[in-house]
Protein backbone atom coordinates (compact mmCIF):
# COMPACT_ATOMS: atom_id res chain seq x y z
CA UNK A 1 0.00 0.00 0.00
CA UNK A 2 1.08 3.55 -0.67
CA UNK A 3 2.06 5.63 2.39
CA UNK A 4 -0.64 8.16 3.31
CA UNK A 5 0.55 11.76 3.49
CA UNK A 6 -1.26 14.57 5.27
CA UNK A 7 -0.82 18.08 3.85
CA UNK A 8 -1.89 20.75 6.35
CA UNK A 9 -3.14 24.03 4.91
CA UNK A 10 -4.88 27.15 6.17
CA UNK A 11 -5.62 30.71 5.05
CA UNK A 12 -2.65 32.00 3.08
CA UNK A 13 -1.08 28.62 2.30
CA UNK A 14 -0.27 28.52 -1.42
CA UNK A 15 2.20 25.66 -1.99
CA UNK A 16 -0.02 22.76 -0.92
CA UNK A 17 -0.82 21.58 -4.45
CA UNK A 18 2.85 21.46 -5.42
CA UNK A 19 3.74 19.59 -2.23
CA UNK A 20 0.95 17.10 -2.77
CA UNK A 21 2.06 16.54 -6.38
CA UNK A 22 5.67 15.92 -5.27
CA UNK A 23 4.58 13.26 -2.78
CA UNK A 24 2.35 11.61 -5.38
CA UNK A 25 5.23 11.44 -7.87
CA UNK A 26 7.31 9.84 -5.12
CA UNK A 27 4.71 7.10 -4.65
CA UNK A 28 2.52 8.34 -1.80
CA UNK A 29 -1.19 9.00 -1.47
CA UNK A 30 -2.04 12.48 -0.27
CA UNK A 31 -4.91 14.20 1.50
CA UNK A 32 -4.97 17.95 2.05
CA UNK A 33 -6.84 19.06 5.16
CA UNK A 34 -7.63 22.56 6.34
CA UNK A 35 -6.48 23.34 9.86
CA UNK A 36 -10.06 23.84 11.04
CA UNK A 37 -10.98 20.34 9.87
CA UNK A 38 -8.12 18.84 11.87
CA UNK A 39 -9.03 20.84 14.97
CA UNK A 40 -12.59 19.51 14.75
CA UNK A 41 -11.36 15.94 14.34
CA UNK A 42 -7.75 15.64 15.56
CA UNK A 43 -7.91 11.83 15.75
CA UNK A 44 -7.64 11.62 11.96
CA UNK A 45 -3.97 12.65 12.17
CA UNK A 46 -3.27 9.13 13.41
CA UNK A 47 -4.24 7.75 9.96
CA UNK A 48 -1.21 9.24 8.22
CA UNK A 49 2.32 7.97 7.65
CA UNK A 50 3.87 11.30 6.61
CA UNK A 51 2.96 14.93 7.37
CA UNK A 52 3.78 17.98 5.24
CA UNK A 53 3.66 21.65 6.20
CA UNK A 54 3.70 23.58 2.90
CA UNK A 55 4.97 27.03 2.09
CA UNK A 56 3.03 30.21 1.53
CA UNK A 57 2.00 33.08 3.74
CA UNK A 58 -0.21 31.56 6.43
CA UNK A 59 -2.55 34.21 7.84
CA UNK A 60 -0.69 36.77 5.76
CA UNK A 61 2.41 36.33 7.93
CA UNK A 62 0.86 38.86 10.31
CA UNK A 63 2.84 39.38 13.54
CA UNK A 64 5.67 37.22 12.12
CA UNK A 65 5.97 34.58 9.43
CA UNK A 66 4.21 31.39 10.57
CA UNK A 67 3.54 32.68 14.09
CA UNK A 68 -0.26 32.56 14.04
CA UNK A 69 -0.44 29.08 12.51
CA UNK A 70 2.19 27.84 14.97
CA UNK A 71 0.20 29.22 17.90
CA UNK A 72 -3.01 27.58 16.71
CA UNK A 73 -1.24 24.25 16.28
CA UNK A 74 0.46 24.54 19.65
CA UNK A 75 -2.76 25.21 21.54
CA UNK A 76 -5.06 22.88 19.62
CA UNK A 77 -3.09 20.12 17.88
CA UNK A 78 0.27 19.76 19.63
CA UNK A 79 -0.64 16.50 21.38
CA UNK A 80 -1.71 14.57 18.24
CA UNK A 81 1.33 15.92 16.39
CA UNK A 82 3.62 14.77 19.18
CA UNK A 83 1.86 11.39 19.09
CA UNK A 84 2.79 11.25 15.40
CA UNK A 85 6.39 12.02 16.35
CA UNK A 86 6.33 9.11 18.80
CA UNK A 87 5.02 6.84 16.02
CA UNK A 88 8.02 7.81 13.89
CA UNK A 89 6.08 9.78 11.28
CA UNK A 90 8.40 11.70 8.92
CA UNK A 91 7.48 15.37 8.65
CA UNK A 92 8.65 18.19 6.41
CA UNK A 93 8.15 21.93 6.73
CA UNK A 94 9.10 24.01 3.70
CA UNK A 95 9.66 27.77 3.89
CA UNK A 96 6.56 28.96 5.79
CA UNK A 97 6.24 25.38 7.01
CA UNK A 98 9.77 25.58 8.44
CA UNK A 99 8.89 28.86 10.14
CA UNK A 100 5.87 27.13 11.66
CA UNK A 101 7.83 24.08 12.87
CA UNK A 102 10.42 26.14 14.74
CA UNK A 103 7.84 28.45 16.32
CA UNK A 104 5.71 25.46 17.25
CA UNK A 105 8.77 23.82 18.80
CA UNK A 106 8.73 20.60 16.76
CA UNK A 107 12.21 21.68 15.65
CA UNK A 108 14.86 21.30 16.78
CA UNK A 109 13.43 19.06 19.58
CA UNK A 110 9.83 17.86 19.10
CA UNK A 111 9.63 16.31 22.55
CA UNK A 112 10.53 19.54 24.33
CA UNK A 113 8.29 21.63 22.03
CA UNK A 114 10.12 24.82 23.04
CA UNK A 115 11.25 27.45 20.58
CA UNK A 116 15.03 27.89 20.59
CA UNK A 117 15.61 28.92 16.95
CA UNK A 118 13.79 31.10 14.46
CA UNK A 119 13.77 32.45 10.92
CA UNK A 120 14.33 36.19 11.13
CA UNK A 121 14.28 38.94 8.50
CA UNK A 122 16.85 38.48 5.76
CA UNK A 123 20.04 40.47 6.32
CA UNK A 124 19.24 42.17 3.04
CA UNK A 125 15.74 43.26 4.13
CA UNK A 126 13.76 42.33 1.06
CA UNK A 127 11.96 39.35 -0.41
CA UNK A 128 14.35 36.98 -2.19
CA UNK A 129 13.20 34.80 -5.08
CA UNK A 130 15.97 32.92 -6.92
CA UNK A 131 17.78 29.60 -7.24
CA UNK A 132 20.53 28.98 -4.69
CA UNK A 133 23.11 26.25 -4.24
CA UNK A 134 22.60 23.72 -1.43
CA UNK A 135 25.12 21.44 0.26
CA UNK A 136 24.08 18.42 2.33
CA UNK A 137 26.01 18.02 5.57
CA UNK A 138 27.87 14.72 5.25
CA UNK A 139 27.20 13.88 8.91
CA UNK A 140 23.48 14.62 8.98
CA UNK A 141 20.95 12.12 10.32
CA UNK A 142 18.28 13.50 8.01
CA UNK A 143 16.45 10.77 6.08
CA UNK A 144 15.08 13.28 3.56
CA UNK A 145 18.50 14.20 2.13
CA UNK A 146 20.01 10.72 1.79
CA UNK A 147 21.98 10.25 -1.42
CA UNK A 148 22.18 13.99 -2.09
CA UNK A 149 25.37 16.07 -1.91
CA UNK A 150 25.18 19.39 -3.73
CA UNK A 151 22.44 20.81 -5.93
CA UNK A 152 20.30 23.90 -6.48
CA UNK A 153 16.82 24.74 -5.24
CA UNK A 154 14.71 27.90 -5.47
CA UNK A 155 14.12 30.12 -2.44
CA UNK A 156 11.26 32.60 -1.97
CA UNK A 157 11.20 34.34 1.40
CA UNK A 158 11.62 37.57 3.30
CA UNK A 159 12.16 35.96 6.70
CA UNK A 160 14.62 33.15 6.09
CA UNK A 161 17.65 34.04 8.22
CA UNK A 162 18.25 31.07 10.52
CA UNK A 163 19.27 32.23 13.99
CA UNK A 164 19.48 30.51 17.38
CA UNK A 165 18.77 31.55 20.93
CA UNK A 166 22.46 31.19 21.82
CA UNK A 167 25.71 29.65 20.63
CA UNK A 168 25.05 26.48 22.62
CA UNK A 169 22.12 25.64 20.34
CA UNK A 170 24.35 25.70 17.25
CA UNK A 171 26.87 23.48 19.04
CA UNK A 172 24.10 21.02 19.96
CA UNK A 173 22.75 20.94 16.40
CA UNK A 174 26.20 20.10 15.07
CA UNK A 175 26.94 17.54 17.79
CA UNK A 176 23.59 15.82 17.23
CA UNK A 177 24.08 15.84 13.43
CA UNK A 178 20.91 17.88 12.99
CA UNK A 179 22.23 20.33 10.40
CA UNK A 180 20.72 18.96 7.19
CA UNK A 181 21.68 21.39 4.44
CA UNK A 182 23.67 24.61 4.11
CA UNK A 183 24.04 27.38 1.57
CA UNK A 184 27.49 27.62 -0.03
CA UNK A 185 29.96 29.74 1.94
CA UNK A 186 30.10 32.27 -0.88
CA UNK A 187 26.34 32.45 -1.50
CA UNK A 188 24.45 32.76 1.77
CA UNK A 189 21.35 34.64 0.54
CA UNK A 190 19.81 35.68 3.86
CA UNK A 191 22.58 35.79 6.47
CA UNK A 192 21.72 32.50 8.19
CA UNK A 193 24.13 31.54 10.95
CA UNK A 194 26.63 28.90 9.82
CA UNK A 195 25.00 29.10 6.36
CA UNK A 196 22.19 26.82 7.60
CA UNK A 197 19.34 26.30 5.13
CA UNK A 198 17.63 23.40 6.92
CA UNK A 199 17.74 21.34 10.09
CA UNK A 200 16.23 18.07 11.29
CA UNK A 201 15.23 16.72 14.69
CA UNK A 202 17.52 14.30 16.60
CA UNK A 203 15.94 11.28 14.84
CA UNK A 204 16.39 12.71 11.35
CA UNK A 205 12.70 12.22 10.56
CA UNK A 206 11.52 15.83 10.85
CA UNK A 207 13.03 18.28 8.37
CA UNK A 208 12.58 22.02 8.08
CA UNK A 209 14.15 23.99 5.26
CA UNK A 210 13.76 27.35 3.57
CA UNK A 211 14.43 26.28 -0.07
CA UNK A 212 11.61 24.61 -1.99
CA UNK A 213 12.32 21.00 -3.07
CA UNK A 214 8.73 20.64 -4.33
CA UNK A 215 9.57 23.18 -7.04
CA UNK A 216 12.27 20.98 -8.54
CA UNK A 217 10.60 17.66 -9.27
CA UNK A 218 11.13 17.64 -13.04
CA UNK A 219 14.24 18.45 -15.07
CA UNK A 220 12.36 21.22 -16.88
CA UNK A 221 11.79 23.07 -13.58
CA UNK A 222 15.44 24.14 -13.56
CA UNK A 223 16.03 27.49 -15.31
CA UNK A 224 19.14 26.09 -17.04
CA UNK A 225 17.62 22.78 -18.08
CA UNK A 226 18.12 23.31 -21.81
CA UNK A 227 21.87 23.68 -21.23
CA UNK A 228 22.22 20.59 -19.06
CA UNK A 229 23.65 17.34 -20.38
CA UNK A 230 21.34 14.46 -21.24
CA UNK A 231 22.82 12.55 -18.31
CA UNK A 232 21.88 15.30 -15.87
CA UNK A 233 18.41 15.59 -17.38
CA UNK A 234 17.85 11.85 -16.97
CA UNK A 235 18.78 11.85 -13.28
CA UNK A 236 16.14 12.18 -10.58
CA UNK A 237 15.80 15.90 -9.81
CA UNK A 238 17.22 16.77 -6.40
CA UNK A 239 13.90 18.13 -5.15
CA UNK A 240 12.02 14.95 -5.99
CA UNK A 241 14.66 12.86 -4.24
CA UNK A 242 13.65 14.39 -0.89
CA UNK A 243 10.17 12.91 -1.22
CA UNK A 244 11.32 9.59 -2.65
CA UNK A 245 13.57 9.20 0.39
CA UNK A 246 10.72 9.77 2.85
CA UNK A 247 8.30 7.50 1.01
CA UNK A 248 10.93 4.76 0.74
CA UNK A 249 11.68 5.07 4.45
CA UNK A 250 8.02 4.52 5.35
CA UNK A 251 7.66 1.62 2.94
CA UNK A 252 10.80 -0.06 4.29
CA UNK A 253 9.68 0.46 7.85
CA UNK A 254 6.25 -0.98 7.14
CA UNK A 255 7.67 -3.88 5.15
CA UNK A 256 5.82 -2.78 2.00
CA UNK A 257 7.12 -3.29 -1.51
CA UNK A 258 8.10 -0.26 -3.55
Long-range contacts at 251-257 (CB < 8 A, ≥ 24 apart): 251/3, 251/27, 253/88, 254/3, 254/49, 256/1, 256/3
Max Cα–Cα distance, the chain, nearest Å: 51
Is the backbone of residue 248 left (phi > 0), alpha (psi -120 to 50) or beta? alpha
Sheet containing 206-209: order of strands: 29-34, 4-9, 50-53, 91-94, 206-209, 196-200, 179-182, 128-136, 150-157
Active site residues: 95, 212, 214
Amino acid sequence: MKPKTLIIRTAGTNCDLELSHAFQLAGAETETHHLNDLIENPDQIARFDIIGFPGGFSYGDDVAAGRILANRLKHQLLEPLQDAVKRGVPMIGICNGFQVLVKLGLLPDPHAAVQTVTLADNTNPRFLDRWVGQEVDSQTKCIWTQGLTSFELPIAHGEGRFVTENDNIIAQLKANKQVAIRYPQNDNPNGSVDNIAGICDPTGLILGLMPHPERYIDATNHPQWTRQSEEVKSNTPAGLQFFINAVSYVKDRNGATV
